[in-house]
Amino acid sequence: MAYEDRSCRWSDIVNNAFTPTRNNFRIRRHALQILQPVDAQGNLQCRRQDGRNSFPRLDYPKGFPDWWHLSHTEVTVPSEHFQAGKQYDAEVHLAHFYSVAFERKMGKVAIFLESDATRERWPFLDKLICQWREIEEQTRQECGLPSVPAYPGCRNPSRQASSPGSTPTVSPATSRPVATPTATGGSPGAVLPTTSRPALTPTATASGLGSTPTVLPTTAKPVAPVAPTWQLLPGPWTPRASPETNVSSTFRPDGGWTCKDLKNSGFDTKRICKDRGGCCNPTRAESSRCHFLYELFGNNMGRLCSECCKKQLGPARQPHPTYPPIQCSSVKHPGRICKRNSCCEPEKSTTPHCKNAYETYGNSMGSVCWYCCKEPKDIHATTRNNNVRKLGEIETSMSINATLSSNNSENVATLDTASVDSHTDIMTPQGLYTGDINMDPSNFEVNENVEEEYLASLEEYERMSKEGSRHLSVQGDNYASVPYSPYQWMREVKTEYYFRYDGAQMVPPCFETVHYRVMKDPIRIHPIQLAELERLLAWRISPKGSGIKECQNDTAGRPRPGSNGTAVDLNRPLQQYTNIHRKVFCECGDWISKFQDDKDWCLFEKNKRWFEHPYNYESGGKY
């Protein structure tokens, strides 16, 4: 995967006057993030003197002819993915959006981080840690809370410390469960606490793609999506996974709100109200996003359109005598299924795309065509019988369950879709849909020298590593002299080979919209760096003005036993995968890596690579 840093410099990330906040580092409930500096209007704020204003970008090989543009980087603990039953100490995601308009999906490069006491501290990671600490200190100061313990090399405030000591220390005390594949190579078996990990000794009290491979390289276990619990239930509203990812969980759609409340709660009313692609037109829209709003607001959707958009919403679909109502927000790309001469037309239902739709939705396909399309379509009974597989077969092969739930005494078919995404656009952490990001023409420039520049950057990084010039001795300046590149992770991992699969977002709404590349080797970091990453996430304070647990400890993680509040586990449970995830291991036979470490690794015979020497460095045959 070739990559280019392009226009954005370090100062654009940490001190940008044109973005909603000057510093684009974030401490979220689920991850530490670095956002590309995009303003509220969707413009990247990295313009150079030559006029270029372009995102960092990466070239996915194997089936993607265009560039993917970097949206954000995030770090979470411990790893979301397992490899050969092993879970790593942390995981980095480089999240990209595709430059092609019809492919509204995310491309994530996942890189493991593993604690290794024999390694020197990596100054690049320390540079990032210092900025997350700057965000933490700003929040604590605004909330009137004391500073956290000092961290070497960072600007450490002199306000009253929250605990004695200067830095967290580590000791091998607790263990992390490791998933053990079953003998048949199917679903993961028992989870056993067999692999130890460093545990933090607190200085304060704070509020593989399958089983072991035989012929195919399936030694890493991808995390398949957790199906969001989407059920239309009576009584008080329960917040659901939503394409409106910034919506406050305290908002109630069943009355008492104003148009101003909608905006303040995170609803994009401009997008809802627009004439083309909006949700308030005389003919109801068929996008998953609009269907979600129709289901969420129910009869109040007409009021929303009338009061907030000054438009008249068309009537809801009349019930079909045979097909039960269905939750259309759970349907993948309904517009493509519903379009003219497509899957809801009897003569077109045998195309590969439509066969897949009939297999995916089974007996619910009639409901999809009737309730989810702009114009209701009644699929022919003979066509339906020829194409629909038994529901039990679909449940077994694709983990899709069609269930019935009660909604105001009506039976509503709810698709619990572990393998179906329900949105055609991606919401970025900057609060924008990727389709609303304004792309400067320089983003699409052809670089005839990309391979040469990529190789030169690897050689320069290798030279710096050997000379030791990247391990700079600095004190209190936030490692200002350490070079920054958004793709420094890709150079430090020292491999081009990865496990590839199609999967889901790691956080709600868990849409199946991500092309993953999970690098086979981890980056080894010093235990003190891991300890600080864990502490930053465990001690997160909700910012003042956030409206949710302001100035209180607020994290999505589960307290880690034995850590005394200095570490949380943010990963989801290990998930199943199926053939629909299209897992592939890309290694030596696919291309010749630019890394010498990869070339040396490829000299080993295949079974030795997969079973005895899994990494580019010597690990004693262990993952």
- 3-state per-residue secondary structure call for 7-50: CCCHHHHHCCCCCCCCCCEEECCCCEEEECCECCCCEECCCCCC
Instruction: Verify that 266 and 210 share a domain, yes or no.
Output: no
* pLDDT(486) > 50: yes
Instruction: Verify that 398 and 436 share a domain, yes or no.
Output: no
CA dihedral sign of residues 344, 101, 111, 553: negative
What pLDDT score does 288 carry?
81
326: closest CA among 402, 253, 396?
402
Q: Indicate whether 284 belongs to any domain.
A: yes
Q: pLDDT tens, 592-613?
A: 898 989 999 999 998 888 888 9
209: closest CA among 490, 581, 504, 572?
581
Q: Indicate whether 374 belongs to any domain.
A: yes
Q: Indicate whether 459 belongs to any domain.
A: no
* pLDDT(254) > 70: no
* pLDDT(151) > 80: yes
Task: pLDDT band for 248, please (50, 70, 90 cuts).
Answer: low
* pLDDT(134) > 80: yes
What pLDDT score does 450 carry?
80
Instruction: Verify that 15 and 139 share a domain, yes or no.
Output: yes
Radius of gyration from C-alpha coordinates of the chain: 25
Q: pLDDT tens, 488-521?
A: 999 999 999 999 888 888 877 677 778 899 999 9
Q: Is 556 exposed, middle or buried (0-12, 13-18, 19+ CB in 10 A)?
A: middle
Instruction: Verify that 275 and 218 share a domain, yes or no.
Output: no
What pLDDT score does 327 carry?
80
Task: pLDDT band for 257, please (50, 70, 90 cuts).
Answer: confident
Q: How many domains, in total, are found in the chain?
A: 2
Q: Indicate whether 609 belongs to any domain.
A: no
Q: Name the residue with higher pLDDT: 428 or 44.
A: 44
Q: Indicate whether 345 belongs to any domain.
A: yes
Q: Indicate whether 409 belongs to any domain.
A: yes
Structure tokens at 566: 């200095």
What pLDDT score does 198 carry?
35
What pLDDT score does 522 carry?
96
Structure tokens at 426: 């991606």
Q: Name the residue with higher pLDDT: 238 or 274.
A: 274
470: closest CA among 478, 459, 481?
481
Q: Point out the least confidently predicted range of 90-94, 122-126, 510-514.
A: 510-514
* pLDDT(418) > 60: no
What pLDDT score does 427 carry?
76
What pLDDT score does 102 carry?
53
Average pLDDT over residues 328-357: 76
* pLDDT(306) > 80: yes
Q: For the chain, what percent of residues have pLDDT higher than 70?
A: 73
Instruction: Verify that 400 and 437 share a domain, yes or no.
Output: no
Q: Point out the least confidently predicted range of 205-209, 272-276, 460-464, 520-524.
A: 205-209
Instruction: Verify that 193 and 313 share a domain, yes or no.
Output: no
Instruction: Verify that 172 and 284 share a domain, yes or no.
Output: no
What pLDDT score does 176 carry?
45
What pLDDT score does 550 carry?
92
* pLDDT(237) > 90: no
Task: pLDDT band for 341, please (50, 70, 90 cuts).
Answer: confident
Q: Indicate whether 167 belongs to any domain.
A: yes
- The mean pLDDT of the chain is 75
* pLDDT(342) > 90: no
Instruction: Verify that 54 and 192 share a domain, yes or no.
Output: yes
Structure tokens at 19: 């973005």
Q: Indicate whether 454 belongs to any domain.
A: no
Q: pLDDT tens, 10-26?
A: 999 999 999 999 999 99
Instruction: Verify that 435 and 292 share a domain, yes or no.
Output: no
179: closest CA among 290, 84, 111, 265?
84
Peptide bond into 509 cis (omega under 30): yes
Q: Point out the least confidently predicted range of 38-47, 352-361, 553-562.
A: 352-361
* pLDDT(200) > 70: no
Q: Can you give the CATH number for the domain in which 66 is found?
A: 3.10.200.10
Instruction: Verify that 153 and 202 share a domain, yes or no.
Output: yes
CA dihedral sign of residues 45, 425, 335, 373: negative
Instruction: Verify that 7 and 147 share a domain, yes or no.
Output: yes
Residues sharing a CB contact under 8 Å with residue 388, sequence separation 6 or more, in sequence order = 358, 362, 363, 365
Domain ranges, residue 210 = 2-224+430-443+483-591
Q: Point out the least confidently predicted range of 66-70, 417-421, 487-491.
A: 417-421
Instruction: Verify that 487 and 407 share a domain, yes or no.
Output: no
Residues sharing a CB contact under 8 Å with residue 390, sequence separation 6 or more, in sequence order = 362
